[in-house]
Structure 1
Amino acid sequence: MSHAQVIVVDVFIADSLVKKSEQESAMLQVSDAEAIIFNLVQPLDKKWDRELVTLLTAIDRILAIPVTSQLDFPHWDNSAMDGYAVRYEDVSGATKDCPTVLEVVEEIPAGVKPLRYIQSGQAARIFTGAVMPEGADTVVMQEQTQKQGDRVLILAAPKPQEFVRHRASFYQAGGQLLPPGITINPAEIAVLAAAQCREVTVYRRPRVAILSTGNELVAPDELLHPGQIVDSNQYALAALVAQIGSEPVPMGIVRDRPEQVKKAIAQAISVADVVLSSGGVSVGDYDYIDKNLEQLGATIHIRSVGIKPGKPLTVATFPKPKTQQSVLYFGLPGNPVSALVTFWRFVQPALRKLSGLANNWQPKFVLARTRYDLTSDGKRETYLWGQLHLVDGNYEFALASGSPSSGNLINLAQTNGLAVLPVGQTHIPAGEQVQVLQIN
């Protein structure tokens, strides 16, 4: 090797070391990075970022405005039991040895309007959900009665107003039936249907552009050549985005060429609320993401986080013309495991907050007993993937089988929890408690 070549190599190594040193010095703790990201997220605008959907398509959407109803719930006084509608004063002293005898003057099935006013000494045969007749204030369950022709024997005294569901006791017309910022689940669908809400106003789905960078990447349907790998990140991230109710916008593979990367980022920020790229955020010669973000006018808030796996993480914002919101950019690591871990830890809660959820968008951690020894080098907050199991009311964590390497995408299958080893902790023995991030 010539003297000139030695100098070039030395300069290259020195430059790489400087870049690595700069990244290490800018590395944020996980909690600090989380705070920055969550503060950057501004939920969708409840006035402009909403749409009207039919009740049958509202499942899993986020309610944008309060729902009220002009109906009382229950709509009228009704029976909570099959039995007899009576006047309490007539039956307050009834016993099995000295039953009260009442005349049955009417039968009231559910859905039928009562026709008779219940006088003293009278009763109406009534069924669950049926409207209470005027004059009656109590229901005696049929098990405490004995029918004899057009008479009924009351064999036990009920409590006053027993088994009567009073009008508006569940909800009074005009009040708030459902608050904004909640997910519409099947129970909420039932409430909306009962309130005769055939359409409901929800937040639109956030649009998330997804692109993968790397000369080595090929699509799943392409032939693999030596040195190439399949772009699994595009598909995994699109699935994760869709799973939490956002709209994925896959934008394909971008080669490691500065102008191509810059063009792809510019296109992505023009069509999306959030952009996810994977790869190109480390300190290598082919890592162009940060440089292109700066050239396009982004404000870079995070360049590196003390998390393992997933240290090279870029978070930036682009202003949106004529709005108070920004396009949020996540430059995720290219390593598939690192990309998923950083998504679960940072991106997923950010998207949930952006979507309009008022509560429960934050990461959820639970305490679990680990079935296996957990280890790390203690230098960064370490996340180990595996399965959470609920056993007799308590969580247990089983480490994924096989190599725990971040390069082992295969054993990530069936993961539903990430065990967390804090900075400075190198070992949690089997049988001890560990904090676990729930990811699904």
Structure 2
Amino acid sequence: MLSVRDAEATILNSIQPLNNQQDIEFVDLLMANGRILATPVNSSLDFPHWDNSAMDGYAVRYADVQQARTDKPIILEVVEEIPAGYQPQVTIKAGQAARIFTGAMMPAGADTVVMQETTHREENRVFIFTAPQPQEFVRHQGDFCQAGSEIVPAGISLTAAEIAVLAATQREQVSVFRLPRVAILSCGNELVMPEQLLKPGQIVDSNQYALATLMRELGAEVLLLGIIQDDPTALEEIIGYAIANADIVISTGGVSVGDYDYIDKILPSLGGKIHFRAVQMRPGKPLTFATFPNSLYFGLPGNPVSALVTCWRFVQPTIKKLAGLSQGWQPTFLKVRSQSELQSNGKMETYIHGKLNLVNGVYQFQKAEGNDSSGNLINLTQTNALAMLPVGKTLVYSGEEVFVLQL
């Protein structure tokens, strides 16, 4: 039985991220939100594209206004008005100024902008009452970025900010990694779909819904394979199909030591290498991880809480790394104050689900109410964090600090 740390290292070291030559596709920029950029983007333009004004005011020659003061204003002739989007037609000469607006192109001859609040206008004359700094309120061509320089690195998830930058460089499409493909199946004779009539001894397969939703939230393409009965022939056929058509296969149930748990026997027969069958954690001890030449296999416990906890802890970072993220795919633990008393038997690394709340600017963890059995799906609602008690830690008092996995 591996420690959680060793299990995590085994999994993450087995991941071969998507290839930026073979596993890419081009998507329209407006469809790229949340996609992972496959190749870096260099700017084809200078930013700003030309010298422009950062303020409403007057474009002037600094030499003309450097002595301006309240009791002795400098008076200049206004020879042009330059709104945004207009190309100046006049070169500013000694004793002249141009009325200019924020974002407008600087006229030739001018090197400084005087903000309008320190001026007074009378017909075609402007009075300058305060001396500006040299080149004040002028944004120079290439100040933000020069043509040819990298503006968006590969391996990041595109958000509104990056898409705005790409649009500004006149990109209509962008190269992104394809979505990871995840196949999901549930094992068990006792399982039925939500629309079926429940008979004695049967339960609804909630795992498939939970895991499919989480995988889609992570940006994966999901292949739902349904409920597979506890029959080794049927299981081998469907698992063989899954590993041939998905980057990651997730099954729930069938990985413990019961008479109807066949997964660990089937995987080697299909050419898989099983790296471990159990992890020193609670909930989630019966966890199988195997690798195939082109696929990773996670055999998660069947209990709904155990299935989600192991998925959050191990599958979530796997998806992120596989998808091509260059960083940020590692699990994020925060040290926060617990509002609840947390208990463990100390023999396993224990994960307790609950809510991470921001109270007076400080994060605090609140354990979910009710029975914390791994079969109690009900109190999983609104879970956004898992408190982690390491091996040997049996008690965390209310008010004591604890490490929390942020989901």
SS in structure 2 of the partner of residue 389 of structure 1? strand
**TM-score in terms of structure 2 length:** 0.99
Is structure 2 residue 53 aligned with structure 1 residue 110? no
Q: Which residue of structure 1 lines up, in the alignment, with residue 30 of structure 2? A: 56
Aligned-residue offset at 1:401 = 1.0
Mapping of 1:132-281 within 5 angstroms? Answer: 132-281=106-255
**Out of 365, 378, 381, which is 2:333 matched to?**
365
Aligned-residue offset at 1:92 = 1.0
Aligned-residue offset at 1:392 = 2.9
d(CA) in 1 for partners of 2:260, 2:110:
83
Letter in 2 for 1:307: M
Structure whose residues are more often helix by fraction: 1
Could you tell which deviates more after superposition, 280-289 or 385-394?
385-394
SS in structure 1 of the partner of residue 347 of structure 2? coil
- Partner deviation per Cα, 1:360-387 (whole Å, 9 max, x = no partner): 0111111111111111111100000111
d(CA) in 2 for partners of 1:336, 1:372:
23
Is structure 2 residue 368 aligned with structure 1 residue 400? yes
Q: Which residue of structure 2 lines up, in the alignment, with residue 353 of structure 1? A: 321
d(CA) in 1 for partners of 2:319, 2:393:
30
- Partner deviation per Cα, 1:158-208 (whole Å, 9 max, x = no partner): 111111111011111111121100111011111111110000000000000
**Out of 305, 312, 326, which is 2:279 matched to?**
305
Letter in 2 for 1:272: A
Aligned-residue offset at 1:391 = 2.3
Aligned-residue offset at 1:145 = 0.8
d(CA) in 2 for partners of 1:403, 1:228:
21
Q: Which residue of structure 1 lines up, in the alignment, with residue 63 of structure 2? A: 89
- Partner deviation per Cα, 1:65-103 (whole Å, 9 max, x = no partner): 111221111100000110111111111111111111111
d(CA) in 2 for partners of 1:198, 1:265:
40
Letter in 2 for 1:92: Q
d(CA) in 2 for partners of 1:316, 1:93:
77
Is structure 2 residue 49 aligned with structure 1 residue 75? yes
**Out of 427, 432, 437, which is 2:400 matched to?**
432
d(CA) in 2 for partners of 1:404, 1:102:
78
Q: Which residue of structure 2 lines up, in the alignment, with residue 338 of structure 1? A: 306
SS in structure 2 of the partner of residue 202 of structure 1? strand
Question: Once superposed, what is the RMSD of the aligned Cα atoms?
Answer: 0.7
Mapping of 1:35-54 within 5 angstroms? Answer: 35-54=9-28
**TM-score in terms of structure 1 length:** 0.92
SS in structure 1 of the partner of residue 69 of structure 2? coil
Q: Percent of pairs identical after alignment?
A: 63
- Partner deviation per Cα, 1:200-254 (whole Å, 9 max, x = no partner): 0000000000000000000010010011000001111000000010111110000
- Tell me the matched-pair count: 407
d(CA) in 1 for partners of 2:380, 2:115:
57
**Out of 368, 381, 393, which is 2:349 matched to?**
381
| Structure 1 runs, 4 residues or longer, greater than 3 Å off | none
Letter in 2 for 1:334: G
Aligned-residue offset at 1:418 = 0.3
Letter in 1 for 2:171: C
Q: Which residue of structure 2 lines up, in the alignment, with residue 23 of structure 1? A: none
Letter in 2 for 1:383: Y
Is structure 2 residue 297 aligned with structure 1 residue 315? no
